[in-house]
A and B are shown apart, each in its own frame.
Chain A
């Protein structure tokens, strides 16, 4: 260990964000500076625990103490090799992961956890700059063909793994460019498009074929795909949004968060979006329903578009400012958080339930709601409106960021290649097999809307199963023992 007392010498310092005033003027990444020396110092805070809870906290099982040690001793190449051994896309997770590893960091018991995510990001950036990030070429081709449907993080991870294992991989994407949620769901200020593009170029150079603008289920049909390929991986995400079921939900100006975010991403990417289709928050009173990450992304995007006023509403109560007792370390803490977008402006409301959207001329003008008391019982929380607390908020644009309810995969089910799970996703076993031999499922499509890091994990694990089924034995590395806290 480079310095056993590192954590006593250095406090936690994440990568600084640009000043709010500056970053609201553009859609560039909010953390723009790189300071390798500071990351090195931060890496020495790692205690190299005998039982690194962080690794258990990480869905990918990243060898966190090992790359921290490498960084602390200036061995960046080594750190990169360590990191990529479990994580196909550290440049993504280094930016957009909520970092359950840090929640599980042992230093976090009574101190601030190690900035694992930003160390990861620095390792990745260094690797790309130094040219260490290279296509992972197979030792030899197996002759097997695998179709990966969906090019989000799960599909991309699976494609990279399967290709490395020597299979011919074709990735199908219904959009015109690959990346899925990474391209259209996450704002540029959190994940620069070039970061995605350079990775996709690398995957292509490794030998993966991308077919974009192809709507599997229509043309080709799932059945056709299944017969054409030795294996099919379904990684189509969980894109069915939760709807707002109140009066006025169909008014103009009531927009799904994903539509809003995707459009802005296309604009930033230089695509031509007709003015009449533009959803623009400029000078508007914006209300965002949903206090999660997507809501925050909407908030940051609205502020950058020049919204007059933004309110983000969360149905449930404000979390405690300290870790809630029912989520002790090393569990993911229930605690009040402020996202980067939330620190840029806007207001937040908690325990407020929308009862009606008010409109004029078919356009939304206001949102009526009521404060609720929340009772946590054995069968989940129960909401009770507080009488007399009804009020109306002014709203020109209402963004619905209330999460996702499941997949859009009727055609798949109709073709008999998979069955729905009780929770509205596609049923898969613990090795990602569906009920149909040769068909596999990964990512949000299997687990419902989740994190990028889980998607990568699923992509890797599904690839391992596909490879094992094709070759008769496990050849790809496993994520390893896994139990969620």
Chain B
């Protein structure tokens, strides 16, 4: 891996991929298997990527059975004979190019092999052809040789284990001797007597050419695993290509850091008889510097060699979602429950294919977030791949088709010659031991234990002193703790965070505030913790961790609690436990406050020693407690104590000897609990918060019983934790624990290394002494003789307060800015600038630590600088939807930006078509930027076509990783129309884009959007966090044309306050990292960089420009120009200045004018010009990336002086690489399938004359119909063509996004099958997919379309004769569809349209469904158990309108797809009607009924009117 440079951290690398396997069911090695695998790789090429060198891929490879015949021949040609199969192993070894070094490495392998008692047969140069590798890859190409080793003195079953030991010892020896291989090319890619890996830093189509071996006729195998890699970066390395030794992986392990730490923590427990105690010598079982996939492979390999079958090991590492699934067989639940004691899930989106050389299989994570399709042929070929259609098999030979399902395992046993289904595989594993019995005897729920009375609550002055000493503020009590205890959820806030980073705060903030939550963006999806609750779990076990190599009843001895928060009584109960196994002891966190600068450090060290001592004495529940703070003693910050003890015990190898429980006054909000758990605590007892709540109940603040109020707070904390975990895509608290999903900002490097090792902290900052001083400051609030009369500090973080925390937006800055833009008062502008920069004394933001380095710079006259109007074209306003903003405010922004030549943004809420036509006076209200967010509200073809820029919002600064909600009362008629929804019905935006779970998915969406509107630039909005640079590199490779880096201080219409406060990082870090990584990768020239998030003045803009930005986004400032006064209640619909409201009385009060915004930007540009003149820069382009013009101020005092901004100011250059935008992306649109349709369709488009087109298609043809649709709308506008005007009949397997944004007038009939995202954004077009008539399988029981079909469809029809994958019709808002079965989460978030499911659905049907209707044919009567009933009602079909509609749709389905199942139903329609269930959203029904009452004239849904003549016609052409 590359080293850390600047802000780049190699740990943040991600990759995503196309994967698959091919197998001959009966284990007969065949040439065809290798050929098929190679051709699948080539057909998955679009899922991989290449870097700045178009010929260098990110990696591709194959894992095959050792082709014994082939190797025998090549050795025979050299005059040597090979032993029999499995008596020898083949190692694929990457060696240094330098002959001498190579020899040394070879000698090392040979020595170790010999030491391990094996005989080296010899080496073979693997022939390679450098013509088939890109120049960048070739430059770092290792010398590739194969080593052949003969088995000696071990039984055959132990040979693989011995080979593993040889490999690990070799790597370990090489690691310890850096001189051996300074370029780090030496690597054993595989060493096995079963399999061999051929891979490299190649594009998929190069693999075959690069390795001539793969083309040899006798190079055969019965199994081939294949992988094509899409990496976020292009730092070229060969060893990161996949497959690894046992697996290839598509996805991401979010919890990998925690997983590795826990394996480290278990070191003393790890025993496996199979290794004969040798494990210790092998170095770390999991290498920290490897990719998540490789670490997974390492763990799996060890488990497997330790005696577990691959499926068993898989079940341990990626358990399905068993916690909330009552339908799961009890024994299987027991197995998972038991396994939870010895292993944390490796959590994250994953499709993993695995093999040991005989067994080959694949599994999917519990969320099912990666696609995987399989088929079985009548001649025993089994193919599994990320996409369907990757092999050409006639339908007549296909006997089964399917997809991997969430948490399910699919296994082919080539020895037994059969496919073993999930039930059987797991049944075998779970039957090995009586897990249920073991659990019964050893697991106790905490509430079953003898309760012990808790410590009584403090009150009055005594309580006040503790609150003060722990740093409580009035605001935290009033606005966080009490609301949580009252409402049972976290309070909601609005607008952004404009307070200083903790390291710049002078209020002695808590240590928690120095940590920022990380979140998923692009490379893996966040989860919806509400609607997809069933995959998540907070279930917490307190006990000792076990040995994953061993299965004994004692290992699961533990106490279970529902979540990590303990009430006072639960804690007292644990303390009093006396069961002969558990014994608790309390370690005090109190230390003498006047002990000087070393006091805290000494206290932490003493605590760590005490913890070791306690474990040594046999205690196994360690309670870290900060009760007992008094006039002389301050508390060690609980987070510091927890992490220090946790890490110390991990280092000592005894971490698993006991559980850590934290009894602390520090915790007051969700973020705090998350941090303690994230750094290793099993459970947390926030006693002071509970005492605070108790007192609030006793005074008049809370009208609740204290126990009830505390329960509600716990409930709020639980919900919040689910949210914090889900935003990183983590499902279970057990894998979140210790996973350290945080970035520290402003903590000293040594402090982090010692006590928070593994956490990013990139700008240095405060050390233990400084933290001690802050602890003393807080302590003094409670125990000095200050005259506060019982008052706590006000706080002032969430709202500006005069005696509270500093804010950027103050009465002074707001008032002066408004005066400037309203009156055209330039003096007031400078007053504003001065007021903003008044914080130079006490900086509030990182950029305030910087100043311009004008040494050697010659100032130029102002009039030589580019003019303001030209600079202003770089400005954009932020993505604020019509809905979050009033129409008045939204249009005013658009008018202003259009006049200015900048761009406004629709936000996530569509746009009224009237705005696409200019006003009579020529002014335009159209937003140039159309945002595509996860809700896809109003994202239809005309919306996409009427855009200059299409922006994919991956995350939002104020709430990265979270979805949104527009409450029903804000959904007016007008908003409902533009969002294609129902007035009065709440709208939910999912946390993830359901068509972007990884980087290659994003590339696909970019391709889809470019197809619809090739003229628009596609941008991707990311939020600053560690690793955003590597994500941006991936985004650039995914062919985005602009990247927005949003800072965490960005605004929001509504977010939980902990998200606003604690998620995301300042843009300075994200922007600098992005610039550095893009330049280093040679990718910077391909994109324009934009930055937003709290930009306020020209100086801010210039600094951002110097750090690499070319464009600048503003949201809050222009709103303030329009009259916003930061009420921070956008979510209440009560904005008194008419900006963030739909209330008709209030929108009247809107007093903003376009000129206010225009003045703001022009004054800003003028200020920028002055800075440019001072820096001697004429054109703005010339300052982009000139980080050399910045330096750190040397006049800083206090904490700010300790910050090291060196990483931000690191200048990265790469010869020949641009440091600003310089080239266009190549979207290969000229090769788009639709190009072949334009000619035949031309007359139809122009005149509306119907046309029929017949052709064939493959999975490499993606977004078919999208380009045609975009062209039609562009030429003819919306709804210009009649239905079916252009009818296209296709045969084959369609690539992804088939029919995306298909517009009215286009009909596509596909005979074959299709992949993911069929009918995405469907906008009036018609789609049907059905198998060929000669298919060898029953269509209704097989998968015909992939995942996420009809996502965000707004109108049109779709008919699928077969089953669909996960999330069928997700967020559908108007399309009508028939399908014969679907996977999990069907009709999720649906807001409109009609869906008929003629077969079984998966779990969680209708989750978050707020509109539209679904009719489900409930054959087995079990549908209710698979449906999420929180928002919907299940009803019989009694209404004649429903009956009519259903029948009509079924008739169309038959007519169109020839569906037998629909035909059978229709044959007995009246008799079968009672088997249908109507799924009706409750809120939707209420609104519809209310509207019906208002307008008695009844609207019957119009059935589709398929012109049957046309249908017949298609069949015959």
A53 touches B1125 (CB 8 A): yes
- Tell me whether B1127 and A50 are in contact (CB under 8 A): yes
Q: 1/0 contact trace for A262-296 toward B, CB 8 Å? A: 00000000000000000000000000000000000
Interface residues of A in 94-126 (CB under 8 A from B): 104, 106-107, 109-111
Query: Does A201 interact with chain B (Cβ within 8 Å)?
Result: no
Do B812 and A81 touch across chains, with their CB atoms under 8 A apart? no
Asked whether, in the complex, the Cβ of B800 is within 8 Å of the Cβ of A61, the reply is no
The answer to the question of B815 belonging to the interface, with a C-beta cut-off of 8 Å to chain A, is yes
Within 8 A of A (CB), among B509-533: none
Of B369-377, B801-809, B938-946, which binds chain A? B801-809
Query: Would you call A55 and B787 a contact (CB within 8 A)?
Result: no
CA distance A485 to B816 in the complex (A): 9
Known contacts being A47-B1134, A47-B1136, A485-B815, is A61 close to B1125, with CB within 8 Å?
no
Q: Which stretch in B146-154, B788-796, B1019-1027, B1490-1498 binds the other chain?
A: B788-796
A51 touching B803 in the complex, CB below 8 Å, given contacts A110-B1136, A475-B785: no
B701 interface hit (Cβ, 8 Å) = yes
- Bound CA–CA A165/B1146 (angstroms): 48
- Chain A residue contacts of B495, Cβ below 8 A: 50
Establish whether residues A85 and B1151, one from each chain, have CB atoms under 8 Å apart when the complex forms.
no
Are B700 and A109 neighbours in the complex by a CB distance under 8 Å?
Answer: no
Across the interface, B809 reaches (CB within 8 A) one of A51, A107, A109, namely A51
Considering the complex, give the chain A residue whose CB is closest to the CB of B1138: A110
Given contacts A51-B800, A61-B802, A65-B799, contact A4 B789 (CB under 8 A): no
Most chain B Cβ neighbours within 10 Å, of A7, A55, A139, A478: A55
Interface of A (DSSP majority class): loop
Is B700 a contact of A481 with CB atoms below 8 Å? Answer: no
Looking at chain A, what size class is its interface with the partner chain?
35 or more
Report whether A110 and B1149 are in contact in the complex, using a CB–CB cutoff of 8 Å.
Answer: yes
| Contact present for B803 and A478 (CB under 8 Å) | yes
A69 to B1149 Cα, complex, angstroms: 24
> Is A104's CB under 8 angstroms from B811's CB?
yes
Q: A81-B791, A85-B791, A110-B1149 are known contacts. Are A51 and B1137 too (CB-CB below 8 A)?
A: no
**Contact of B1145 with A by CB under 8 A:** yes
A480 and B803 within 8 A (CB): yes
B1475 within 8 A of A: no
Contacts of A392 in B (CB 8 A): none
Contacts of A1 in B (CB 8 A): 1129, 1132
Q: A55-B802, A61-B803, A485-B811 are in contact. Are A109 and B1125 (CB under 8 A)?
A: yes
User: When chains A and B are docked, how far (Å) is the Cα of A1 from the Cα of B1127?
Assistant: 12
Bound CA span A467–B788, Å: 13
- Nearest residue in B to A484 (C-beta to C-beta)? B812
* A7 contacts across to B, CB distance below 8 A: 1134, 1136
Q: How far is the CA of A48 from the CA of B806 in the complex (A)?
A: 18
The A356-403 residues at the B interface (CB cut-off 8 A) are none
Known contacts: A51-B807, A53-B1125, A485-B811. The answer to whether A477 contacts B791 by CB under 8 A is yes
Is A311's beta carbon under 8 Å from chain B?
no
A308 vs B810: C-alpha distance in the bound complex, in angstroms?
A: 51
Q: Which residues of B contact A85 (CB under 8 A)?
A: 789, 791
Contact status B811-A140, CB under 8 Å: no
Which residues of chain B are within 8 angstroms of A138 by Cβ–Cβ distance? 787
Contact across chains for A50 and B800 when beta carbons are under 8 A apart: yes
State whether the Cβ of A37 lies closer than 8 Å to any Cβ in chain B.
no
- Say if the beta carbon of B819 comes within 8 Å of chain A: yes
Q: Verify A483–B812 contact, CB threshold 8 A.
A: yes
Interchain nearest-CB distance for B975 vs A (Å): 19
- Residue from B784, B798, B1129 in contact with A4 in the complex, judged by beta carbons closer than 8 Å: B1129
- A163 — nearest CB in chain B belongs to which residue? B787
* Shortest distance from the beta carbon of A323 to any chain B beta carbon, whole Å: 13
B821 to nearest A CB, angstroms?
12
Please judge, given known A-B contacts A51-B800, A55-B802, A109-B1125, whether A475 and B811 are in contact too, CB under 8 Å: no
Q: Which residues of B contact A325 (CB under 8 A)?
A: 823
Which one of A47, A51, A57 lies within 8 Å of B810 (CB-CB)?
A: A51
The CA-CA distance from A51 to B495 in the complex, in Å, is 11
Q: Is the CB of B701 within 8 A of A63?
A: no
Complex interface: chain A residues within 8 A of B804 (CB): 480
What residues on A are CB-neighbors of B1123 within 8 Å?
109
A251 within 8 A of B: no
A107-B1136, A478-B803 given; A50·B1129 CB < 8 A: yes
The answer, among A78, A480, A483, for a CB contact under 8 Å with B700, is A78
Proximity bits, A1-43, B CB within 8 Å = 1, else 0 = 1001101100000000000000000000000000000000000
Known A75-B701, A85-B791, A110-B1136; judge A63-B1126 contact (CB<8 A). Answer: no
What CA separation (Å) do A136 and B809 show in the bound complex?
36
Interface size on B, residues (CB 8 A): 52
Residue of A nearest to B1146 (CB): A8
Among A51, A111, A139, A467, contact of B811 (Cβ-Cβ < 8 Å): A51
Name the A residues within 8 Å of B803 (CB-CB). 61, 477-481
In the complex, how many angstroms separate the beta carbon of B480 from the nearest chain A beta carbon?
A: 14
Contact residues of B between 688 and 736, Cβ < 8 Å to A: 699-701
- Contact in complex: A136, B789 (CB < 8 Å): yes
A138 to B495, alpha carbons, bound, how many Å? Answer: 42
Contact residues, A43-68 vs B (CB, 8 A): 47-53, 55-57, 61, 63, 65-66
A477 to B790: give the CA distance in the assembly, Å: 12
- A164 an interface residue at 8 Å Cβ cutoff? yes
CB < 8 Å: which of A4, A53, A66 contacts B1134? Answer: A4
- Supposing A56-B811, A66-B474 touch, asked if A106 and B802 sit within 8 A by C-beta, the answer is no
**Residue A74 is within 8 A (CB to CB) of chain B in the complex:** yes
Establish whether residues B812 and A56, one from each chain, have CB atoms under 8 Å apart when the complex forms.
yes
Is B1126 a contact partner of A50 (Cβ separation < 8 A)? yes
Query: Given A51-B809, A52-B799, A81-B791, are A74 and B1125 neighbors across the interface (CB < 8 Å)?
Result: no
Q: Is B1128 an interface residue (CB 8 A)?
A: yes
**Chain B's nearest CB lies how many Å from the CB of A394?**
45
Residues of A427-485 at the interface with B, using a CB-CB cut-off of 8 Å, are 467, 475-483, 485
Known contacts A47-B1127, A50-B800, A81-B791, A109 near B812 by CB under 8 Å? no
A320 interfacial by beta-carbon distance below 8 Å: no
Shortest Cβ distance from A142 into B: residue:
B785
Complex contact B1137–A55 (CB within 8 A): no
Report A-chain residues with C-beta under 8 Å of the C-beta of B823.
325, 328
Residue pair B811, A53 in contact (C-beta under 8 Å):
yes
B789 and A51 contact, CB distance less than 8 A: no
Q: Is the CB of A479 within 8 A of B802?
A: yes
Question: Which residues of chain B are near A331, meaning CB under 8 Å?
Answer: 815
B802: chain A residues at CB < 8 Å are 55-56, 61, 479-482
With the chains together, A228 CA to B478 CA distance in Å?
A: 46
Interface string of B767-802 (1 = CB under 8 A from A): 000000000000000001111111100100011111
A106/B1128 in contact, CB under 8 A: no
CA A264 – CA B784 in complex, angstroms?
48
Which residues of chain A are within 8 angstroms of B814 by Cβ–Cβ distance? 51, 53
Q: Decide if A50 touches B819 in the complex (CB within 8 Å).
A: no
CA distance A63 to B792 in the complex (A): 13
**Would you call B701 and A78 a contact (CB within 8 A)?**
yes
> Can you sample 9 A-B contacts with CB below 8 Å?
A7-B1136, A51-B814, A66-B474, A78-B699, A78-B700, A110-B1136, A166-B787, A328-B818, A479-B803
What 9 A-B pairs are tightest by C-beta distance, nearest first? A50-B1128, A480-B803, A480-B802, A56-B811, A61-B802, A4-B1132, A51-B1126, A50-B1126, A51-B800
Given A61-B803, A78-B699, A477-B791, 7 additional A-B pairs, CB 8 A: A8-B1146, A49-B1127, A51-B1128, A53-B811, A63-B794, A81-B790, A109-B1136
Chain B interface residues toward A at CB < 8 A: 474, 478, 494-495, 699-701, 784-791, 794, 798-804, 806-807, 809-812, 814-815, 818-819, 822-823, 835, 1123, 1125-1129, 1132-1134, 1136-1137, 1143, 1145-1146, 1149, 1151
- Give the interface of A toward B (CB within 8 A): 1, 4-5, 7-8, 47-53, 55-57, 61, 63, 65-66, 69, 74-75, 77-78, 81, 85, 104, 106-107, 109-111, 136, 138-140, 161, 164-166, 325, 328-331, 467, 475-483, 485
